[in-house]
Structure 1
Amino acid sequence: MKDLVLNRRRLIASAAAGAGLLASPAYLRRAHAQTGGVLNIWTYNGFVPDDFLRQFQSDTGIRVNIRLVDDQGKQFNLLAAEAPNPTVDILTVAGHRFLQFIDSDLLAPVDTDRLQNWGNINPVFSESDWATIRDNKWGVPILSGAEVLAYNTEFVTPEEAQTWDTLFAEKYSRRNAYILQDMMSVLMLKMGYDGNMIAYQDDEAEAARIVNEVRDFLIAHKPHVRNYYDGAAEIQQMFVNLDVEVAHAWNGPIAGLMNDGFPVAMAIPTEGTYGFVYTLNVANNAPNADNAYLFLDALLSSPEIGAALSRSSGFISTYKDAADHLSDLERQSTSFPEEQLARMQFFRAEANDLKYSLVDPAVEQIKAA
């Protein structure tokens, strides 16, 4: 896996350099003399392209400190521990987790008037119903993803990948893996229920019954799962080591393997799945808010940067025309057929308190079973 990562980094760097992707806008170059200072960012691996980062620092004199995170819950706990005076300026929150951060006064509303390039975001992402809460925007959408069925094409057929049943099939016993908490939402959808639990906000007993049904299913299948995992690198390593042949995964890590030439593919099964949008957010009381807005506006300044984001992360760019700057293989690894996209719903946050009050204990019960 180390060689794969190193090769991919060289590919990204050479592609970016060859295409002249990240030429800085004139207003950013002019900012050099009047800026400086620092900017602290918490984000996922690949969410700030290396070439963009180097050029931003060179053009502005701002020193950017990046702390990599791999879990929304851990990030929330870190920020809550620092409140009301955080050390971070920009963090990375999935849209369906907004309410948890907003209700704890951890995020500042995004002032879109300070972002000249806000219009470069596809309105499907910037103006959708999940993006506005209490009449405010709370994040800058940069990447979109989905919960997918990933599979090694040397062992699993495209036809088998059209159903979540394959993940639990006897044929792939101990050759499978999934993110346990996310899998619960996907299984609710597969069983015909609302995995967002919005439909059950006034019927907690029914919500509990559904969660228990999914919990019992996963306990019954526990002897057949190779691994419950949490991070992107884990599932990549399992595929590379041939520990698994089929898995539930986020599309980004699987796209990375596809771009490295590994024999893996992904599908959105017929029973459906959930999608999510990653946003960059300004922390409430951010110590370097002006630098944060300069960074965000620079990041939004061109579709080429959107393509670089997609290339480095493996997720789908939210930028208009970003796909025009990707290779055929990169487009293949960051897109799905229209009929599969039609099966995807977005995670929603309205019933999260109810949902996670039931799902979190169920996850622990599955692990302990």
Structure 2
Amino acid sequence: MTKLSFNRRRFLGTAAVGAATLASPAYLRRAHAQDGGEVNIWTYNDFVPESFKAQFQDETGIKVNVRLVDDQGKQFNLLAAEAPKPTVDIVTVAGHRFLQFLDSELLAPLDTQRLSNWKNINPTFSESDWATINGEKWGAPILSGMEILAYNTELVSPEEVTSWDVLFSEEYAQQTAYIIQDMMSVLMLKMGYDGNMIAYLDDPEKAAAIVEEAKQFLIEKKPLVRKYYDGGAEVQQMFVNQDIALAHAWNGPIAKLINDGFPVDMTIPKEGSYGFVYTYNIANNAPNADNAYKFLDAILASPEIGAAMTKASGFISTYKDVAPHLSELEQKATTFTDEELAGMKFFRAEANELKYSLVDPAVEAIKAA
């Protein structure tokens, strides 16, 4: 059974990749001639493994210049300020933020025919609906995070967590927790609706009825929940204190608990869930576009590189066959089966104005009920 990797913000810690050189991908082994030049990359901390960077520079002669970013909005503003002649070649955009960048013509369509290693990305990520806009690919998926169902393995069995229903069961009354706003999207998906609300852009009355249905469900189930929480540290502490046995959470905080040896595990129930994907994108009018494609093809070349990115960043790899290159504990903290990923949906932004105009008041009503 193939397993893959995923995470939101850096709760796994920054387990640095060892200094040992990554297994040399075939792409680099063919690059005997020194291409020279440079490639300029804006990305998050640890998204370019140091061992890969050193090897790529040594075997291609292309200098890799990395500028760290820590916010999608800041990156957008930087790129917009430089348009139409950016100094950067590769940026790192979350899939649900594509439209903002595309509307401002800041990204170039990705020519996947120039990426012989595109096939190494799991299709769950590379071929999902969010990945294609106007018939074009706009980024190479590299790392991801998702909403999951977490459970204390000493109190809850794997057989009990195949459905989100367990989170609202009488059996675990006052032993559950979730983030209301994030739970609303998952709950709408569980009910058979589009949690992104794109399907209801032309039918706001339907959208309102769906949010109302989800709101009433959570109000009805309110006596069963131990706490509505806001941050990762809270859910971690509740598990450690054994205040809860189950929680809806982002996988990052739970992965941290797993790596620390706490008896907790996570799954994506059969009804599915939502997540996001970080992608490497080529800037429109990139000054070193050819080198950018060489860099992308090289970093997609092997599961060892995907594993190194996961270990360094704490996010889940989108590459195929990463699990064998992770320790048993790292696999448990950052991987999901193909069956779990089958129901995975990705956040999209097209209907955000409609969605949150309805969801935000609903969240306040649930809290006040």
CA distance in structure 2 between the aligned counterparts of 1:191 and 1:105, rounded to whole angstroms: 37
- Conserved 8 A contact 2:87-2:287: yes
Is 1:40 the counterpart of 2:46? The answer is no
The residue identity in structure 1 corresponding to 2:136 is N
Name the SS of the counterpart of 2:254 in structure 1: helix
Is 1:68 the counterpart of 2:74? The answer is no
Relative to structure 1, the CA distance from residue 113 to residue 51 in structure 2 (aligned partners, 3 Å threshold; closer, same or farther) is: same
Q: Aligned ranges for residues 63-142 of structure 1 at < 5 Å? A: 63-69=65-71, 74=73, 78=77, 82=81, 84=83, 88-142=88-142
Relative to structure 1, the CA distance from residue 360 to residue 246 in structure 2 (aligned partners, 3 Å threshold; closer, same or farther) is: farther
CA distance in structure 2 between the aligned counterparts of 1:297 and 1:22, rounded to whole angstroms: 15
Deviations along 1:306-338, one digit per CA (max 9) or x if unpaired, are: 222233345543334333433444444444355
Is 1:363 the counterpart of 2:360? The answer is yes
Q: CA deviation at 1:226?
A: 4.3
Relative to structure 1, the CA distance from residue 304 to residue 218 in structure 2 (aligned partners, 3 Å threshold; closer, same or farther) is: same
Match of 1:326 in 2: 326
The residue identity in structure 1 corresponding to 2:111 is D
Q: CA deviation at 1:140?
A: 0.5
- Conserved 8 A contact 2:53-2:64: no
Match of 2:202 in 1: 202
- Conserved 8 A contact 1:39-1:63: yes
Relative to structure 1, the CA distance from residue 104 to residue 253 in structure 2 (aligned partners, 3 Å threshold; closer, same or farther) is: farther
Q: Does 1 or 2 have the higher relative contact order (CA < 8 Å, sep 6+)? A: 2
- Conserved 8 A contact 2:143-2:316: yes
Alignment equivalent of 2:229, drawn from 227, 230, 233? 227
For the aligned residue pairs, the C-alpha RMSD in angstroms reads 3.9
Deviations along 1:238-285, one digit per CA (max 9) or x if unpaired, are: 756777653323335533442443322002224332354432112334
Relative to structure 1, the CA distance from residue 365 to residue 89 in structure 2 (aligned partners, 3 Å threshold; closer, same or farther) is: farther
CA distance in structure 2 between the aligned counterparts of 1:78 and 1:233, rounded to whole angstroms: 30
Relative to structure 1, the CA distance from residue 52 to residue 177 in structure 2 (aligned partners, 3 Å threshold; closer, same or farther) is: farther
Match of 2:298 in 1: 298
Relative to structure 1, the CA distance from residue 65 to residue 111 in structure 2 (aligned partners, 3 Å threshold; closer, same or farther) is: same
Q: CA deviation at 1:364?
A: 6.0
Name the SS of the counterpart of 2:274 in structure 1: strand
CA distance in structure 1 between the aligned counterparts of 2:87 and 2:177, rounded to whole angstroms: 39
| Further displaced range: 213-222 or 280-289 | 213-222
Q: CA deviation at 1:188?
A: 0.3
Name the SS of the counterpart of 2:92 in structure 1: strand
- Conserved 8 A contact 2:80-2:104: no
Q: CA deviation at 1:361?
A: 5.4
Relative to structure 1, the CA distance from residue 324 to residue 99 in structure 2 (aligned partners, 3 Å threshold; closer, same or farther) is: same
- Conserved 8 A contact 2:196-2:355: no
CA distance in structure 2 between the aligned counterparts of 1:102 and 1:240, rounded to whole angstroms: 43
Alignment equivalent of 2:350, drawn from 339, 345, 353? 353
Name the SS of the counterpart of 1:362 in structure 2: helix
- Conserved 8 A contact 1:226-1:244: no
Relative to structure 1, the CA distance from residue 42 to residue 78 in structure 2 (aligned partners, 3 Å threshold; closer, same or farther) is: farther
CA distance in structure 1 between the aligned counterparts of 2:256 and 2:54, rounded to whole angstroms: 22
- Conserved 8 A contact 1:79-1:106: no
Q: Aligned ranges for residues 145-294 of structure 1 at < 5 Å? A: 145-167=145-167, 171=172, 173=174, 176-178=177-179, 180-215=180-215, 217=217, 221=222, 224-229=226-231, 245-286=245-286, 289-294=289-294
Which 5+ residue runs of structure 2 have no aligned equivalent? 1-10
Q: CA deviation at 1:299?
A: 0.8
CA distance in structure 1 between the aligned counterparts of 2:130 and 2:12, rounded to whole angstroms: 34
Alignment equivalent of 2:15, drawn from 9, 17, 26? 9
Deviations along 1:8-44, one digit per CA (max 9) or x if unpaired, are: 625x42xx73xx4253724567447x224x623133x
- Conserved 8 A contact 1:42-1:91: yes
Relative to structure 1, the CA distance from residue 98 to residue 322 in structure 2 (aligned partners, 3 Å threshold; closer, same or farther) is: same
- Conserved 8 A contact 1:252-1:313: no
Q: CA deviation at 1:348?
A: 6.3
The residue identity in structure 1 corresponding to 2:101 is F
Which 5+ residue runs of structure 1 have no aligned equivalent? none
- Conserved 8 A contact 2:323-2:335: no
TM-score (norm 2): 0.74
- Conserved 8 A contact 1:173-1:226: no
Relative to structure 1, the CA distance from residue 172 to residue 22 in structure 2 (aligned partners, 3 Å threshold; closer, same or farther) is: farther
Question: How many residues get paired?
Answer: 348
- Conserved 8 A contact 1:28-1:298: no
